[in-house]
Every structure is written in structure tokens, then in C-alpha cells.
């Protein structure tokens, strides 16, 4: 029998519990401005979750309805508790010492500001002899993901001559067969962010997919070929990386990964969509993405598995080092590394990182039945003048 929540669980919803009989009759068509009660069915067990008011109902290519609901929030004092600090040698051959958490904290390379901002930075206070590596941080989320909507709100991203930062996701197991997604990446004081995918064989970027960026190099995403370059797209906006992005007050980067492909958007501060700020993201309303890896050329599920979220700042190395002579930066990358004042902009300043999961709504039923616990019917739960139907939605 279909039932609703007992009164003790109604506090999960953003509406007041009502006693039986206190019903308002204004129940109308489904509205994105209403709260929904979702009943999750799994192996015969029914449990309830709440969806915030103004949840945005969206439609998949197969016609099914779904919502993006929050899964994890990385922010504030607990941010670094959810990440591991990488202390090995840099796989990209950067002139960097990745420190452990205690060292990073002791040397002010990681900290949380009084107003909750997350700071990660390269050492900008120590003079070095020529050839000595500079301290920095690389962290990887303890949790792994298979698909999701990843939204990073930041005030400042690292840049500067010889600096090579990245926000990316990395698959578990042997690289590159479980995939890598580079969402924010660049070198020196470039103005254009580069989005790149690295996979095993049999994955190509379809150039006929609609996106606003410019193709870079190969269409073959195979990380074992072409010098590990993968397949990439450079953003068109000069406010997507470096000093111009930071001068705009930062902004938001979003990566959507599901069975329809992997897409990336970026928004400088003044252009961040209202649905993102409200915590109810609707990628279908954001316009064309800056980069897309379409399933017509690459299976986004088979080629990307068990991904951790990674932030890092390295110096010189395979990209920033090899491109230094043609970058317009002074001297050599090795010489640049010596003076700490060259790295005052080599820092992340993050408001929050939110990960949303797709919940598909697959069934409906009328809510005339009473709860086994004697709680109100769905009509009574939602009978607050809100424009929502009398139904229960089951979530996969």
C-alpha cells in the first residue's frame, strides 16, 4: 500500500506538518516552485527524501523526468577532512614538492579564512637556490564518483609565469584507462582555460558536437598516444583563466557527466546563473557548453570510472616548463622558481564545491491511501496552497 511519511519525519520537508483534516484544497499542476516528497524504492524498502522548494524538473533524451539533487558539499572548516594530500613525485615532472597536510598547514599553504573561504597555495615566502623545488599542494577527494554534476564556486584561481594549476577528476586504477577530466587547467598568465580528456583507446572527441570552445590538437583522447596529450578544447572567453578571471571576482565552473556525455561550462562572477546560486542547477538553461565529449565518439560511462576530485598547483614541468620559452615570460622557468614574489597569485580561493546526482522520477500514484503510521495523506502534507499534484514520485 502506498503510504506517506510519519509525522516525525515531516520536518525533512520545507513545509509545516498538518494535523488530519486541516487541508487546503488548492492543488494544481506540477510546479518547479514547489517542494516534493520523493519515495525511494529499493528491494521492497520504501524511504523518503525531501527535495527543496524550487527544484527544477528536467527531461532526459528518452523522455523521463529527473532532478539534480545535492549529494556532497565541500566547504568551510571540514573541507580538508574530505581530501587526501598527495606527497609523491609529480607525474607531470613539475619542479614541485607536494607536502602532507601537517606541513601545508604549518607553512600556511592551506587554511580556512574567518569567513569560510578555502585557500590552497604554492609557497610564496621562501627564496630557493637554482634547481630547488618549490613547496605546494595536491589533494584528492576521499570519495569517488561515477557521473554527477560538479559545480565549483571560486574567487581566485592560480596563475603566473611558470605556474600550472588544475582542477580535475581522476579515475581509480591504471591511468589513463579509467579516464581523466581536466576542467580548469592552464599555464603562465594565459587568458583562456583549457578542458581536456584523457582515456584509453577507442575514445574520440566529435568535432561536430555543439560547443563554443576551439579544438586543441588531437581528436583522439587516448592518453597512451600523442605524448599523452589527450583531446581538448580551449575556451573562447578571455575571462575563463588567469588575471582577467580573477579581476572579475572569479566565478563558477561546472562539469556535467552522465550518459549524454561530459560537458563543461564556465561563468565569470557577474554571469553566474541564478539557478546555480539558488542551489537548484538546471544545465539545460545555461546555453551551449564551452566543451563537450559526446557519446557518439566516446562512451562516458565505460571510459570514466571511479573518479576522485583533484586540485593541484605545480611549477614548470611538461607543459609550463616546455612552453616557457615561447610564453613571453622573462628568463627561464628554473630561474623564475627561485623568487617567492613570483608566486603571489599561485593560489586557490574557493567558496564551495557542490556535487549533485541525477535522480530519475519513474513512477506516480495517487495519494489517497493513509499511512500505516496514521500520518496525513499526500494531500494533507502538500495542502498548503502550493501548486503541486497529489502524487508520489518514485526515484531510481
Residues making up the chain, counted from first to last: 396
d(CA 60, CA 291): 20
Residues forming the active site: 180, 185
CA-to-CA separations, 203 to 4, 179, 223, in angstroms, rounded: 46, 10, 10
Is the Cβ–Cβ distance between 136 and 314 less than 8 Å? yes
3-state class of 86 per DSSP? coil
Pairing of strands 180-185, 194-198: antiparallel
- Bridge partners of 333, per DSSP, are none
| Dihedral sign for Cα atoms in the order 197, 73, 238, 284 | positive
Q: How many CA atoms lie less than 13 Å away from 251 in the CB half-sphere? A: 24
The 10 Å Cβ neighbour count of residue 62 is 7
Nearest to 184 by CA among 164, 205, 199: 164
Is the Cβ–Cβ distance between 122 and 136 less than 8 Å? yes
Chain centroid to CA 389 = 33
d(CA 56, CA 62): 18
Instruction: Kindly tell me the burial class for residue 387, based on how many C-beta atoms sit within 10 Å of its own C-beta (0-12, 13-18, 19 or more).
Output: middle
319 DSSP assignment: I
Cell triple for residue 378? 499526500
Amino acid at each position: 500500500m502506498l503510504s506517506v511519511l510519519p509525522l516525525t519525519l515531516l520536518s525533512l520537508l520545507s513545509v509545516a506538518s498538518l494535523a488530519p483534516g486541516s487541508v487546503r484544497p488548492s492543488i494544481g499542476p506540477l510546479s518547479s516552485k514547489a517542494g516534493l516528497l520523493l519515495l525511494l524504492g529499493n528491494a521492497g524498502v520504501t524511504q523518503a527524501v525531501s527535495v527543496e522548494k524550487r527544484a527544477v524538473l528536467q527531461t532526459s533524451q528518452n523522455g523521463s523526468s529527473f532532478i539534480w539533487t545535492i549529494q556532497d558539499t565541500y566547504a568551510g572548516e571540514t573541507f580538508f577532512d574530505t581530501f587526501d594530500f598527495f606527497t609523491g613525485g609529480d607525474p607531470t615532472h613539475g619542479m614541485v614538492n607536494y607536502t602532507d597536510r601537517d606541513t601545508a598547514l604549518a607553512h600556511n599553504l592551506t587554511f580556512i579564512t574567518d569567513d569560510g573561504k578555502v585557500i590552497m597555495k604554492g609557497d610564496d615566502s621562501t627564496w630557493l637556490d637554482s634547481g630547488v623545488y618549490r613547496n605546494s599542494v595536491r589533494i584528492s577527494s576521499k570519495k569517488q564518483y561515477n557521473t554527477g554534476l560538479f559545480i565549483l564556486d571560486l574567487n581566485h584561481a592560480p596563475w603566473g609565469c611558470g605556474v600550472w594549476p588544475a582542477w580535475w577528476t581522476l579515475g581509480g586504477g591504471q591511468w589513463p584507462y579509467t579516464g581523466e577530466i581536466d576542467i580548469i587547467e592552464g599555464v603562465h598568465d594565459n587568458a583562456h582555460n583549457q578542458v581536456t580528456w584523457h582515456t584509453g583507446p577507442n575514445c574520440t572527441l566529435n568535432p561536430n558536437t555543439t560547443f563554443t570552445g576551439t579544438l586543441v590538437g588531437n581528436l583522439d583522447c587516448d592518453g597512451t598516444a600523442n605524448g599523452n596529450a589527450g583531446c581538448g578544447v580551449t575556451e573562447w572567453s578571455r575571462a575563463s583563466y588567469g588575471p582577467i578571471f580573477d579581476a572579475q571576482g572569479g566565478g563558477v565552473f561546472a562539469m556535467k557527466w552522465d550518459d549524454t556525455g561530459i560537458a563543461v561550462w564556465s561563468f565569470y562572477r557577474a554571469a553566474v546563473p541564478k539557478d546555480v546560486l539558488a542551489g537548484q542547477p538546471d544545465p539545460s538553461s545555461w546555453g551551449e557548453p564551452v566543451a563537450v565529449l559526446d557519446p557518439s565518439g566516446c562512451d562516458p560511462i565505460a571510459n570514466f570510472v571511479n573518479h576522485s576530485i583533484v586540485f593541484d598547483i605545480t611549477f614548470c614541468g611538461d607543459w609550463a616548463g616546455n612552453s616557457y620559452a615561447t610564453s613571453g615570460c622573462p628568463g627561464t622557468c628554473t630561474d623564475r622558481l627561485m623568487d617567492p614574489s613570483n608566486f603571489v597569485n599561485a593560489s586557490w580561493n574557493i567558496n564551495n564545491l557542490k556535487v549533485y546526482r541525477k535522480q530519475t522520477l519513474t513512477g506516480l500514484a495517487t495519494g489517497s491511501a493513509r499511512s500505516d503510521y496514521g500520518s496525513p495523506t499526500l494531500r494533507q502534507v502538500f495542502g498548503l496552497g502550493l501548486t503541486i499534484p497529489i502524487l508520489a514520485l518514485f526515484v531510481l
